[in-house]
Amino acid sequence: MDGRANDTVTRWGEDGTIRELYRLTGSGVFPGCHAPLLRWLADHEPEALARAEVAGYCVDAVAQRLTGVIGVDASDASMPFLDVTTREYVPKALEACGIAEHARLLPPPAAPDTVRRLDETGAKLLGLPAGLPVTAGPYDLPACAIGSGVEEVGDGLLIVGTTLASQVLTDSARIDPAADPAGMWLCVPDRDRWLRGMPAMVGTAALEWVLEFAGATTADLDALLAASPPGARGVTALPFLSDAGERAPFVEPAARGRLDGLTLATTRADAVRAVCEAVAYAARHCLEAAGLTASLAACGGGTRSAAWTQLFADVLGRPVRIPDEPEVGARGAVAVAWRALGDPVDASQWRADSRTVVPDADRAEAYERGYADYRARLARTLAEWRATAPA
């Protein structure tokens, strides 16, 4: 959600840097990822980079304190400098971003099934015996996919969290240089599988905003959705409320939210439904871009609402499987740890530990028209954002 590098991303979009980075690694760029943040620091706080030993994530800092080893999981390293097929950094990608001199900050990606050991310092911190095995990673998106039972090529996962993460398992990481340079390819423990990720910035943050605006809370959501019909009585929304704009399935730092079609007859339920429908449309846009062809699971705080989950199924026009385990990311991380220790779990059992939400045929047909309208409105507004972006 860090928006400091918005101007950097805008400039890179204009001068071709984003397109070149996408050609080299298949990763899109958004203000909160490594490339623009490192460039922003180089431009504005070079002394910070001079002092730094590593550009990593919170999990890497924790693992280093416990084991004395500096590393990074391949999933975290995937974006935006990694060739995910070789699991090696692409020097030209750092050069394109003007930060090649800081390549020393990037730790080599850990091999699949890497196990570290709790050292004396870590043992003292935790009060546990030294030598215990420690695993780190994968990060939340792949962990949730694994914990949700995504295991067949074409399977997808929708994470309805603060942001909206859509991902599909694939057996090929082919880069289409003509495609919109958005999304990412993520390494998973299997070297011949990848996740095609489209992590949008929209999600429950947009829902919470409109609920607060309407003087309501998440406890009121299902009742509000029931009080407004599909289509929200003509009210429509674009749910791009992040200060950092949008990152998938398109990159636009200038993207901003909209509510249209308001009249004196509009109710707060209509406004809430319009935003919920728009987030569901954004999810469909992302899943289509990621290449969903098989089953779909969903998790995250947004799936606690039965009405919103049904709305997602209706808009997507397909069954949505909801795992019974609410913390699927933690379950995925544990599954990877078990595998690293030589005791893999049967993920197919987790697929059965779920419920399925089936789309309503009539509503799904209406939402087909609504989705086409959403895409048309988005295309028009996207052109406006780009036409008015500061030089």
Domain residue spans in the chain?
6-134, 138-391
Q: What is the mean pLDDT of residues 71-88?
A: 96
Q: Do domains 6-134 and 138-391 have the same CATH topology?
A: yes
CA gap 279, 302 in Å, rounded: 11
Cis peptide before 239 (omega within 30 of 0): no
15: pLDDT strictly greater than 60 = yes
390: pLDDT strictly greater than 70 = no
348: pLDDT strictly greater than 90 = no
Q: What is the pTM of this model?
A: 0.91
174: pLDDT strictly greater than 70 = yes
CATH class of the domain defined by 6-134 = alpha beta
What's the token pair of residue 184? 């990412």
Percent of the chain topping pLDDT 70:
99
Percent of the chain topping pLDDT 90:
86
CA gap 266, 176 in Å, rounded: 44
Q: How many CB atoms lie within 10 A of CB 188?
A: 24
pLDDT band at 247; cut points 50, 70, 90? confident
pLDDT digits (tens, 9 = 90+) for 150-161: 999 999 999 999
pLDDT digits (tens, 9 = 90+) for 258-312: 999 999 999 999 999 999 999 999 999 999 999 999 999 999 999 999 999 999 9
Q: How far apart are the first and last CA of the chain?
A: 23
CATH class of the domain defined by 138-391 = alpha beta
Tokens 């050609």 identify what position? 23
Question: Within a 13 Å sphere around the CA of 82, how many CA atoms are in the beta-carbon half?
Answer: 25
* Per-residue confidence (pLDDT) for residue 3, from 0 to 100: 85
* Per-residue confidence (pLDDT) for residue 216, from 0 to 100: 98
Q: What is the mean pLDDT of residues 147-176?
A: 95
Instruction: Report the amino acid identity of residue 24.
Output: L
391: pLDDT strictly greater than 60 = no
Q: What is the mean pLDDT of residues 27-33?
A: 87
pLDDT band at 170; cut points 50, 70, 90? very high
Region of 87 on the Ramachandran plot (φ > 0 left; ψ -120 to 50 alpha; else beta) = left
Q: What is the mean pLDDT of the chain?
A: 94
Instruction: Report the amino acid identity of residue 325.
Output: E
∠ CA(90), CA(91), CA(95), 5° rounding? 125
* Per-residue confidence (pLDDT) for residue 179, from 0 to 100: 83
Alpha carbon 259 to its chain centroid, in Å, reads 24
What's the token pair of residue 106? 């990037």
CA gap 373, 367 in Å, rounded: 9
Whether 194 contacts 112, CB under 8 Å: no
* Per-residue confidence (pLDDT) for residue 336, from 0 to 100: 94
